[in-house]
Amino acid sequence: MTGSVDVLILGSGFGGSLLSLILAKSGRRVAVIDRESHPRFAIGESSTPLADATLSMLAERYDLPDLKPLTKYGTWKREFPEVMCGAKRGFSYFGHKPQQAFDEAHQLLVAASTSNDSSDTHWLRSDMDHLFFQMAETEGVLQFQNAQYELLSSDSQWQAVSTRDGGEFHVTAPFVVDATGGSGAVLRHLGVANQTELLKTNSAAVFAHFQNVVPVEQMLSNAGLATNRHPFPCDSAAVHHVLDDGWMWQLRFDDDTVSAGFVVDRNRVSLPTLPMEIWERQVQRFPFLRAQFADAKVARPADGLRMSGRLQRLTTQAAGHNWAALPNTAGFIGPLHSTGIAHTLFGVKRLAHILQPDLSTTSRHRFLEDYSARTIDEIRLIDALVEGCYAALPSFPLWCDWCMLYFAAVTSMEQTADGSGEAFLRATDKDFRRVVLDARSQLQLAIEEGRSESACRRFRDWLRITIAPWNHVGLLDDRCEGMYAKTAAPG
């Protein structure tokens, strides 16, 4: 089929599909092309209050009430019981040392919501991305899946031409959005340079979804450890097992499968080449994980464990006069702090505004320049907030204290009216950016002092005073003993 549209979107992950839905609802003619077909396995599943507030705001602003139930676990389960998810009440961290039993002092729980009903969710991305894709179809978006195509461009027009025998489609548009994630189809077509060398985080991941993973709560109970101080059930969370050379995430879905992955600091370890070798190396070194995964089997994807190369990447440009890249295409740091879904939704929010039909060309060009600079700058801030965690290892207390910079940024945003302000994670707040830089110097001092107890204590005391302007929820209050209930987002 041949079609001419206002906006062509490459990639139908939740980001591309949601943007297509909003633009179609706003009266734009939109086409979406994906090289795969739904439903398909995808990673990046853990939402946050900031992500949910942004999705909720988009639902209201663009009159898309069907999106609204997806912003809270309770309404999701009532309205979309067939779309798989899991409850995420907050962030749980458990510190482990190689070949040692788990020490109950090494726990940190940071609440993100006050009840299951109002909680965030882990999205089973195969279901969620498919749902957004179907919603966009209902709104009249032209969709091509499992596509093989060639992208052509001139100064005024983009063309995507099917390269399959019989030529399935030929789509033209004056504007293209690159929502292809790490593939960066438009970035590659335009030859946009990357600046990944500026990023400090250097990690790789091995991951899959598993059956028969023993819940952390049960593991603690088996070891005779009490969980009555936990502000929420510790498995209804983004669970982090903090190790000597990286960490593991565990996200439990309601069908009792668990998304689990090791993220390893490539600056510390030279990794084996096979995903199973890396997996076994990590599981076998930590008795807690060895027991948790003793009977575990890969449930998804069908071809077993997936492994990434270096996760980090960053482009030099995220938009031009007739194109834009969603944040996860412009760059990526890693799963730590669950920033991916929220940042993608920020990108969707900004591009939805920029691509509204009534905006003048001059304003659009100015906003696109601003979008590009902001997106790249925010990815660099995420890099700083993530890298310090790896630098802190193998000290669990130092790791936890560094995380408080992220929690200060995000909770201070969540306390605002719709929780989704304009800048992601206070990126345009010069004072906060200065604190992140200063904190890294202070962290370095603690590292150089051997991450000793006294050095960690000095860092913590310095950080508590320094983040005070953004800390409205009692972060680093020693009386909490690592159990934070007041961090829950309002509502």
Ligand X SMILES: Cc1cc2nc3c(=O)[nH]c(=O)nc-3n(C[C@H](O)[C@H](O)[C@H](O)COP(=O)(O)OP(=O)(O)OC[C@H]3O[C@@H](n4cnc5c(N)ncnc54)[C@H](O)[C@@H]3O)c2cc1C
* Amino acid sitting at position 487: T
Residue 249 CA: distances (Å) to CA of 246, 291, 478, 483 = 10, 16, 26, 19
Q: Which residues, other chains included, contact 433 with Cβ-Cβ below 8 Å and sequence gap of 6+?
A: 381, 426, 427
Q: Closest CB to ligand X among 35 and 61?
A: 35
Distance between CA atoms of residues 336 and 348, nearest Å? 21
Phi, psi values for residue 191, rounded to 5°: 70, 30
Which range in 11-19, 135-143, 376-384, 426-434 contacts ligand X by CB under 6 A? 11-19
Residue 86 near residue 252 (C-beta atoms within 8 A): yes
397 binding ligand X? (CB under 6 A): no
235 binding ligand X? (CB under 6 A): no
Start-end of H helices in 316-429: 327-330, 340-354, 361-392, 396-414
Residue 337 near residue 382 (C-beta atoms within 8 A): yes
280 binding ligand X? (CB under 6 A): no
127 binding ligand X? (CB under 6 A): no
36 binding ligand X? (CB under 6 A): yes
Phi, psi values for residue 275, rounded to 5°: -55, -40
CB of 157 vs ligand X, minimal distance in Å? 18
300 binding ligand X? (CB under 6 A): no
12 binding ligand X? (CB under 6 A): yes
Residue 166 CA: distances (Å) to CA of 3, 43, 144, 148 = 16, 33, 15, 12
179 binding ligand X? (CB under 6 A): yes
Q: What is the CA radius of gyration of the chain?
A: 22
Residue 87 near residue 119 (C-beta atoms within 8 A): yes
The one among 3, 6, 43, 458 contacting ligand X by CB under 6 A? 43
CB of 265 vs ligand X, minimal distance in Å? 14
The one among 121, 344, 375, 395 contacting ligand X by CB under 6 A? 344
Q: Closest CB to ligand X among 133 and 288?
A: 133
318 binding ligand X? (CB under 6 A): no
Which range in 73-81, 97-105, 196-204, 331-339 contacts ligand X by CB under 6 A? 331-339
Number of separate helices (H) and strands (E) present in the chain: 14, 23
Two tokens, residue 350: 């900004």
Which range in 28-36, 70-78, 220-228, 288-296 contacts ligand X by CB under 6 A? 28-36
The one among 15, 95, 215, 397 contacting ligand X by CB under 6 A? 15
46 binding ligand X? (CB under 6 A): yes
CB of 459 vs ligand X, minimal distance in Å? 27
11 binding ligand X? (CB under 6 A): yes
CB of 466 vs ligand X, minimal distance in Å? 27
Beta strands in 11-133 (DSSP E): 30-33, 85-88, 90-95, 107-111, 120-123
The one among 8, 13, 239, 420 contacting ligand X by CB under 6 A? 13
The one among 20, 22, 26, 34 contacting ligand X by CB under 6 A? 34
Beta strands in 283-358 (DSSP E): 297-300, 306-307, 313-314, 319-320, 323-325, 331-332
168 binding ligand X? (CB under 6 A): no
Q: Closest CB to ligand X among 36 and 369?
A: 36
In this chain, which residue has its C-beta nearest to ligand X?
A: 44
340 binding ligand X? (CB under 6 A): yes
Q: Closest CB to ligand X among 178 and 244?
A: 178
Map tokens 């990108």 to a residue: 347
Binding positions for ligand X, rule: CB under 6 A: 10-16, 33-36, 42-46, 179-181, 183, 185, 205, 207, 261, 311, 326, 328, 335, 338-341, 344
